Chains A and B, each alone.
Chain A
Amino acid sequence: MTPGSTSAACAALFRRDLTLAWRRRGDIAMPVLYAVIVTTLFPFALGPEAALLARISGGVVLVTVLLAILLALDSLFRSDIDDGSLEQLMLAPQPLALLLGVKILAHWLTAAAPLIVVAPVLASMLRMPANVIPALIAALVLATPLLSLLGAVLVALTAGTRRSGMLLALMLLPLCVPVVIFAAGAVAAAQEGLPWVAPIAWLGAALALALVLAPMACAAALRIAMDA
């Protein structure tokens, strides 16, 4: 890789983001901890009846993961805006959409991938049958990057503002409705013993589309929001 080439820049950015995330390992644990806390609250609220918990387990785990990602999204550009490195990124000769795609990937690896790892544990705590767990993991593997990509566009739009926590949730809700419906649909179909590939395929199609479009939208949104 020649220094200064696009691939070198992407690799350097990727390594930088992972290093930064590793230096603040406590932040990586936060979304996971949040998901564990929320999931343990449900049996306390609804009672420990196994049949009821099994019925709601898919939906609870998906919504919990969604909220945990939403919580983590705020940090996607926050430190880069504070120290000015985001502006450097926007001035870089490499295409901004590609660089942002790399940033989103690094963020997904540090924030969402741990959630996928603990999701089967959480689901088992809620008595989800073992044969449903593959469907849950498949749904999460496709739904979490989709949420990260969609969320990144919205985070970019709020980049120039001060308060953004609740606003981000309000903006993300309409976008995540289809994702939640299809991901939960796959899990529900698996629980009823029905074929669950069709909703997963829809999620995959949406992810393919978002992989191409979302970084570009994110770059456009960032240029609007940071344009002073």
Chain B
Amino acid sequence: MAEKLIFELGRIDREGVSIPPDDLESLNIDELIPEELLRKRDPTLPEVSEVEVIRHYTRLSQLNFCVDTHFYPLGSCTMKYNPRIGEKLSTLEGFTSLHPYEPDELVQGVLKIMFDLGQYLCEIGGFDAITLQPSAGAHGELTGLLIIRAYHETKGRKRSKVIIPDSAHGTNPASCTLAGYKAIEIKSGKDGCIDLKRLQEELDEETAAVMITNPNTLGIFEEEILRIAEITHSVGALLYGDGANLNALMGITRPGDMGFDVLHFNLHKTFAAPHGGGGPGSGPVAVKKELEPFLPVPVIVKKDGKYTLDYNRPLSIGKVKSFYGNLPVIIKAYIYIRMMGAQGLKRVSENAVLNARYVINRLKGAFDLPYNKPPMHEGVLSGKKFREYGVRTLDIAKRLLDYGFHPPTIYFPLIVEEALMIEPTETETKETLDAFIEAMLKIAEEAVKTPELLKSAPHTTPVKRLDEVKAAKELKLRWKEYK
């Protein structure tokens, strides 16, 4: 290992802190706590000096591969740079010392932030009402589907299924199942988009919703979206939008205008809050007017210039999270939107698409581009052609680490063989994109000439190739085995 564990550092009886002399009367612990509750041996805590602790954790932090240290083109995850101002402002004492049970009149400021963020998101997405409660994208999906279920039930409709394209995020069918629906998968067309004929065949009075990501997971815009919305609505079903790919659309077009009835946002992706181990997510759900009564309680309302938490919503699906949502993420998204402004957000999407098109266009000769359409904010290549040299996409991904890049998403979407899903985001410079492209081109050459180099990669990281099968089969949950 590149770094010992904290338990392996130090030595017995070393102390990292000097505790001041005790001026209180000493009591015998045996008299305070019943014997059966007293531990039989001392706890095995690290016995280290302060400088050992500092060096250990500083070194560990430097082993991280993260947005702050490396280009991170993880497709469908929108790993954009997270501006530091968001950290600075969201950790102001006024926010961190709030108590969720404070009366509304004492927390008008934070309620205003939440209310205004909701308004901005509705404007960006083209919706009428919103909840900020869901903890992340998949939680947003479940919340949105429960709202759809409540809507159908109020209308006395018994609906049993939700239609999903085979390119969908894996969370989509899982959320449907959790919401009590059967997920019906339809095969995508040859162009990677929704096959209208297959959709039409599945659509019936049992359909509660059609669940779509636009642009889809191939990074392709569903050009027939208006027609899809029309035929979905014609059987009384609703159109659910997975907002994972909103970074392609802001200020240019709005899901609400395309006919979506429900959309979840991923504040941690599109609106620049750290995620993927760097912080919690936030998955607000926006809806059209007719679905507003079903939103989770409380809903933040503004009346006569005052903000209140409204619990009086008889048709509400109830609470989906304790209190009101992941507040620091909500604050960071608010700051980001205020900082960028309407024009800035539009430029975010324009540059996200420009960057993705640049990377995909330069790589599509060396790698296959199975669905050859101009990508939006991300594109999906295939490493299929390297199979004959015994090289898999996994090996390409591992080799990228040697070149100092976080790999793209691999083996997703499932409809692309040996998939490499690349999302550069708008925050990267042309120099960074060029360096990544050069590395990928070099790796494509290596795959043919020196395939062993890829198959044994990574070579330069502190931990080399891991045995994923062993890791999945033999779970070790302790740092050393109990003897």
A binds B: no
